[in-house]
Amino acid sequence: MKKKTSPGLKIICLNRKANFNYFFDTIYEAGIVLKGSEIKSVRNGKANIADAYAIEKGGEIFLINSHISSYKQASYTNHNPMSERKLLLNKKEINKLIGKMQREGFTLIPTKMYFKKGKAKVEIAVAKGKKQHDKRQAIKRRDWNRDKARYVRKTS
């Protein structure tokens, strides 16, 4: 089933495992600095943020481990697929994020990458890692909801 999105919003890639592995506290929308060959590759849907996370360097936030495939038609100006990419946030937002990461043990996880009005955006979540027993609870709840839906379908 396709998710309904607002007009002008085209989802490039999702991080589905993030919801299973982390508890989300707050979610921010950030722009991302991309080179020409990177943006062309992203427009073709060749991006992956499954293992990505964000860190702070020199008062700025960078996205690490995101993979944007090389663009075939780019010549010598092609990019490194695993390079760090700067996220564009307000100074106030950056200070909030840095404070949460340092004091409270949270981490920054990208949940989805999309185009909004022609600009590439990344949705990052301030998240705390789940323990093993929390993951088991999530699996149990998901299985129960699936079984419940089957029972309702059979009785109707």
Tell me the per-residue pLDDT of 23-42, one tens digit each, with 9 for 90 and over: 888 999 999 998 888 888 88
pTM over 0.85, yes/no: no
Query: What's the pLDDT at 121?
Result: 93
Surface-to-core class of residue 104, CB atoms within 10 Å of its CB (0-12 exposed, 13-18 middle, 19+ buried): exposed
- Is the pLDDT confidence value at 75 over 90? no
* Strand bridging mode 67-68 / 107-116: unpaired
Position 6 confidence tier, pLDDT thresholds 50, 70, 90: low
Shortest CA distance to 13 belongs to which of 130, 145, 123?
123
Give the residue extent of every domain in the chain. Answer: 10-130
3-12, 123-132, 133-142: least confident range = 3-12
Query: What's the pLDDT at 132?
Result: 79
Surface-to-core class of residue 92, CB atoms within 10 Å of its CB (0-12 exposed, 13-18 middle, 19+ buried): exposed
Position 1 confidence tier, pLDDT thresholds 50, 70, 90: very low
Separation in Å, CA 24 to CA 19, 56, 62, 125, 126: 8, 19, 19, 6, 6
Question: How far apart are alpha carbons 153 and 156 in whole angstroms?
Answer: 5
- Is the pLDDT confidence value at 61 over 50? yes
- Is the pLDDT confidence value at 3 over 80? no
At the second CATH level, the architecture of 10-130 is Beta Barrel (2.40)
Position 2 confidence tier, pLDDT thresholds 50, 70, 90: low
